[in-house]
Every structure is written in structure tokens, then in C-alpha cells.
């Protein structure tokens, strides 16, 4: 009996601990990349290439987590970035919420499915379409006229390109409300050009963000693409020509989403079996399913929070210049210690350079980043960065010149030297034949002295007999100089 009671107490304690751990896990957060890592130029503060990162703190389900980070809090001491497992401290890191993110603006594009199935009536008595319109009001809560720009665009399977490309980004809440009110009622013959809508929406949002960043001068604005659908991609005869469809269309758009770096939030609103969850997961950076009006409103609130509450970090790469990053894939992770001591970590994101050329900057550092990067300015000019490519060019050029002019003379010498006529056998002096020698004519040899000339017509010189004497021409006086001799002769 006592042992049974003891086991019961142990089991109860273990169960309690397990529940507590599960609860903690559900609340523990992680860092989720809100944008792809972008290489930016912080010149003239530093010539090193810098990288800008953006994060959201989310829970295990992807919902934004309230971590009580004060707006604008300096997180440099609390954040660590790992690039190819090398630890780097960012020179700028802070929480960007509310007014902080308003500095450089927020742009959101909402794509709302208005296919025929959106007319289905829900248990609440409203149609899916009407429920979605109500939820959009939630998304616009806290709209800041000085910072927010929102375009709410319907899509189905007709006039898809014209409608999305004509998106107008409202700069006031009243304008945005008018856009919601002007949404057309879904028609019964409307199908769902889901893939094309996302494809076109990314282009429109990129263009708008690019022009806003260029004109404001405060740096690139925060961007978000919010997609809401109740079904799957469906393109039938009678719809617009050229709409993306099938596995190829999904692959194309999914790759574009990953490459764009824009945060895409997909919301599936409908029966679980009717929504193509697999496609929505591939077409988005974060995906949610909503079963009813309340969950839809909550998700739209999440989307708003993900746009407004972000953590920004900028760090200098440990390499001196862009050329050093050619052909180098960077695996980037980050870790942040929250005010309550909890550590949140991110997954790994890859930064890929161009396949053949030198990486190019995807933007310039804004004023905050330039100020923060000033301590990184080198004390002396790094001349090697300027001279290195010149030295490489000259060195390889010299190598090619050597290979062009010198090595062939070793490998094919017969083409660079002429033929010599050798002296005839038995003859000591060469005949008066000129040798062809690369255009240089050797001087003809002087005549052989008496007794050493070769026989005419060739043949061996006759062997001298032992009795033959060498006749030596007499000299009168060996000590006298030639000048004296000559003067005497002249006399």
C-alpha cells in the first residue's frame, strides 16, 4: 500500500513537470527572419560589406510573441550573429516597434480571393467574403497615416494582371476603408488564379517599396504581402490567358517568394479539405489556417504585429571587400537574449552571391546605420584592396605573355632557330656558306691561314709526314711595335 502511494506521488509529480515543460515550450519563442539578409553599403563609414537582418519573435506556431521589448531598445549586447559559425556582434541592433518602424514606413499589399466559393454562408450568417472584409478592419487597426501605405486588391481569374498592377496604396485609413468598401462581390463563375496573383503582387510590392525607399531617403520601408484565400489555384477555359497553373507554376512562384525576401503571410479561410495548404505553405513565409471569424481577425492582428514589431540588426562582414565574398555562401544565424533572460534563436538563412560575378550591394545603409558604423572606420587606408586586382591582372598577364612567347621556344625550338651548315668532315674551317639564322646573317669567316685551307672539292686534308717541316715566317725584331715598323716602311 505504501509503495503504491509512493508510486502514485511520483507519477503525479512527473506528470506535473511534463505539463509545465509543455506549457513553457508553447510560450518559448524563436527568432524568425522577416526579410532575407541583404548586403548593404555603409560607405563612407566603413568599406566592409555589411548585412542587414530583420526578425520577428514568434512562438512555435508562428504567432508573434509579446516579449516586452521597449521600442528602440539597444540590443547590441544581447544579440549575437553567426556567419558560417563565426560569432559577430552587430554594430546596430534594436527593437523596432510602433513609432520606430514608422521612420522608414510600412507598405502592405493585401490580396483577397473573390472567387465564387467566397459567397458560401458561414454558421455566423455572414458569407466568407463579408467575414474577410470585417477582419480587414482588424488589420487596419492602428493605421498610421504618416507611415502606413496599404493596398487592398481583389483577385479571381479574370483581369488578374490589370487589377493587381493597378493597385493604389492608400496613405490614410479612410482611403483604405474606401478600398475595402469598394471590393466587388464574388461572382459565381470566378475561379482562383492564386499563383499568378502572388506572382504579380510581389512585383507590385517590390516596385512600390523601391520607389518609396528612393524618395524618402530614410531607407527601405518594411513590406508585407498578405494573401487570403479559401481554396486552391484553379484556372479553367474562359479565364485570362497565361495564368500560372500546375506544379510548374507553383514552383515558379514559390522560388520567387523565397528569392524576393518579402514577408508573405498566407491565410487559408475555409474547410480544411478545400484549402490547398501545401501550396499556401510554399507560397508564403508564414502560413495560418482560420476556421471562423474570430480566428481570422486574430490572424490579421498577427499580420499587423509582424509588420510593425520587428528587430533590426546590421553587422559588418568579417571580409574586407565585396570581392572577398565572390563564390562564398554565407550561413547566417542569430541569437537574442530577451529582458527576462530567455534566449531565442533563429533558424539558418543562406546568403548566396552571384554565380559568376562579384556580389553587388542591395541597398545603402541609412543614417542610423552609418552613425553606428563609424567606429568601424579603419585608421589607415587599406591600399591592398585597391592594388590587389591590379597586381593580379598584371601577374596573370605576364604569365600569359611568358606562355605565349617563351614556352613555345622550348617546346618547338625548330621553328625559332634556323639550320646551320656544318663544316665538312676533315675540314677545320667552314666554307663561305651563309647560315639562315632568324634573319640574322653571320659574318663570313675569314680565309684560313696558309696550310690550313680546305681542299677544293672536299676531301680530307693530306696527313703531314713526319719529315715535313713547318715553315715559320721570320720576324726581324719581335720587340719593336708595329707602329715603328710601319713608320720605317713608310720611309
Partner 1 sequence: MSLYQTLYYMSLVGGMAGLFSWALAALASAAFGNQQNAWVSDLLSAAILGALIGGLTVAFSDRWSGSRIMPRWIVSGAFIGLFAGLIAGLVQIPITNNLSERAPVLTRLIAWMLAGSFIGLGLGLRWVAVNRARVAHAFAGGLVGGAMGGFIFGGIGSSVPDLSQALGFVSVGVGICFGVTLAPILLRDGVLRFVSSGDPRAQSKFGRTHKEWEIQQGDSYVVGSQSQDLSRSRYRPEVEIFIPDAGIAAHHAILFGKDGRFFIARHPDSSDPASLARFKLQVRGKSVQKSQELRDSDDILLGRTALKFLSKKDKA
User: Which residue ranges make up the site for partner 1 (CB under 8 A)?
Assistant: 41, 206, 210, 251-252, 255-256, 258-259, 319, 321-329, 350, 352-364, 388-389, 392-393, 396-397, 400, 403-404, 408, 411-412, 415
* CA separation for the pair 48, 322 (Å, rounded): 8
Is 395 or 458 the residue whose CB approaches partner 1 more closely? Answer: 395
* CA separation for the pair 269, 305 (Å, rounded): 20
Of all helices (H) and strands (E), which one includes residue 33? strand 30-33
Retrieve residue 486's grid coordinates.
710601319
Least distance (Å) between residue 205 CB and partner 1: 13
Q: Check: CB of residue 336 under 8 Å from CB of residue 89.
A: no
Is 144 or 362 the residue whose CB approaches partner 1 more closely? Answer: 362
For residue 301, give the 3-state DSSP assignment. helix
Least distance (Å) between residue 330 CB and partner 1: 10
Task: Tell me which long-range contacts 65-70 makes (C-beta under 8 A, separation of at least 24).
Answer: 65/27, 65/29, 67/29, 67/338, 67/339, 67/340, 67/342, 67/344, 68/339, 68/340, 69/95, 69/97, 69/311, 69/338, 69/339, 70/95
Is 126 or 256 the residue whose CB approaches partner 1 more closely? Answer: 256
Q: Enter the DSSP assignment of 81.
A: E
Least distance (Å) between residue 327 CB and partner 1: 3
Is 73 or 364 the residue whose CB approaches partner 1 more closely? Answer: 364
Least distance (Å) between residue 361 CB and partner 1: 5
Least distance (Å) between residue 351 CB and partner 1: 10
Q: Enter the DSSP assignment of 323.
A: G
Least distance (Å) between residue 436 CB and partner 1: 10
Is 26 or 400 the residue whose CB approaches partner 1 more closely? Answer: 400
Contacts of 210 (CB under 8 A, 6+ apart): none
Is 171 or 206 the residue whose CB approaches partner 1 more closely? Answer: 206
Is 415 or 425 the residue whose CB approaches partner 1 more closely? Answer: 415
- Cα angle, residue 76 at apex, residues 75 and 82 outer, rounded to 5°: 110
- Cα angle, residue 321 at apex, residues 316 and 325 outer, rounded to 5°: 90
Least distance (Å) between residue 261 CB and partner 1: 10
Amino acid at each position: 500500500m505504501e509503495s503504491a502511494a509512493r508510486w502514485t506521488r511520483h507519477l503525479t509529480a512527473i506528470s506535473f513537470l511534463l505539463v509545465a515543460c509543455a506549457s513553457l515550450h508553447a510560450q518559448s519563442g524563436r527568432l524568425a527572419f522577416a526579410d532575407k539578409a541583404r548586403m548593404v553599403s555603409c560607405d563612407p563609414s566603413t568599406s566592409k560589406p555589411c548585412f542587414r537582418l530583420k526578425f520577428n519573435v514568434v512562438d512555435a506556431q508562428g504567432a508573434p510573441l509579446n516579449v516586452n521589448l521597449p521600442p528602440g531598445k539597444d540590443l547590441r549586447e544581447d544579440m549575437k550573429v553567426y556567419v558560417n559559425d563565426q560569432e559577430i556582434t552587430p554594430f546596430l541592433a534594436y527593437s523596432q516597434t510602433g513609432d520606430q518602424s514608422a521612420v522608414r514606413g510600412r507598405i502592405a499589399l493585401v490580396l483577397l480571393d473573390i472567387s465564387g466559393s467566397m459567397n458560401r454562408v458561414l454558421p455566423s450568417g455572414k458569407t466568407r467574403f463579408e467575414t474577410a472584409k470585417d477582419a480587414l478592419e482588424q488589420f487596419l487597426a492602428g493605421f498610421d497615416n504618416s507611415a502606413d501605405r496599404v493596398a487592398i486588391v481583389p483577385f479571381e481569374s479574370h483581369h488578374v494582371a490589370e487589377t493587381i498592377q493597378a493597385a493604389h496604396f492608400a496613405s490614410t485609413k479612410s482611403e483604405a476603408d474606401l478600398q475595402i468598401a469598394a471590393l466587388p462581390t464574388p461572382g459565381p463563375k470566378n475561379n482562383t488564379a492564386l499563383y499568378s496573383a502572388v506572382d504579380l503582387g510581389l512585383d507590385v510590392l517590390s516596385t512600390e517599396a523601391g520607389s518609396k525607399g528612393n524618395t524618402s531617403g530614410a531607407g527601405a520601408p518594411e513590406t508585407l504581402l498578405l494573401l487570403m484565400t479559401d481554396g486552391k489555384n484553379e484556372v479553367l477555359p474562359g479565364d485570362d490567358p497565361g495564368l500560372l497553373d500546375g506544379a510548374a507554376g507553383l514552383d515558379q512562384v514559390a522560388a520567387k517568394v523565397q528569392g524576393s525576401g518579402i514577408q508573405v503571410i498566407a491565410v487559408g479561410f475555409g474547410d480544411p479539405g478545400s484549402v490547398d495548404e501545401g501550396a499556401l505553405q510554399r507560397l508564403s513565409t508564414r502560413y495560418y489556417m482560420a476556421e471562423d471569424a474570430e480566428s481570422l481577425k486574430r490572424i490579421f492582428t498577427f499580420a499587423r504585429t509582424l509588420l510593425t514589431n520587428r528587430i533590426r540588426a546590421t553587422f559588418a562582414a568579417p571580409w574586407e571587400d565585396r570581392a572577398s565574398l565572390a563564390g562564398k555562401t554565407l550561413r547566417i544565424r542569430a541569437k537574442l537574449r530577451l529582458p527576462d533572460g530567455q534566449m531565442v534563436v533563429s533558424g539558418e538563412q543562406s546568403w548566396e552571391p552571384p554565380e559568376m560575378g562579384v556580389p553587388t550591394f542591395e541597398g545603402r545603409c541609412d543614417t542610423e546605420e552609418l552613425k553606428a558604423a563609424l567606429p568601424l572606420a579603419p585608421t589607415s587606408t587599406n591600399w591592398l584592396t585597391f592594388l590587389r586586382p591590379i597586381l593580379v591582372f598584371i601577374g596573370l598577364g605576364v604569365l600569359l605573355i611568358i606562355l605565349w612567347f617563351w614556352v613555345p621556344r622550348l617546346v618547338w625550338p625548330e621553328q625559332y632557330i634556323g639550320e646551320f651548315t656544318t663544316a665538312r668532315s676533315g675540314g677545320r674551317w667552314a666554307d663561305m656558306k651563309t647560315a639562315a639564322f632568324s634573319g640574322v646573317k653571320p659574318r663570313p669567316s675569314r680565309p684560313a691561314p696558309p696550310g690550313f685551307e680546305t681542299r677544293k672539292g672536299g676531301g680530307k686534308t693530306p696527313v703531314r709526314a713526319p719529315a715535313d717541316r713547318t715553315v715559320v715566317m721570320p720576324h726581324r725584331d719581335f720587340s719593336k711595335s708595329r707602329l715603328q715598323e710601319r713608320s720605317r716602311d713608310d720611309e
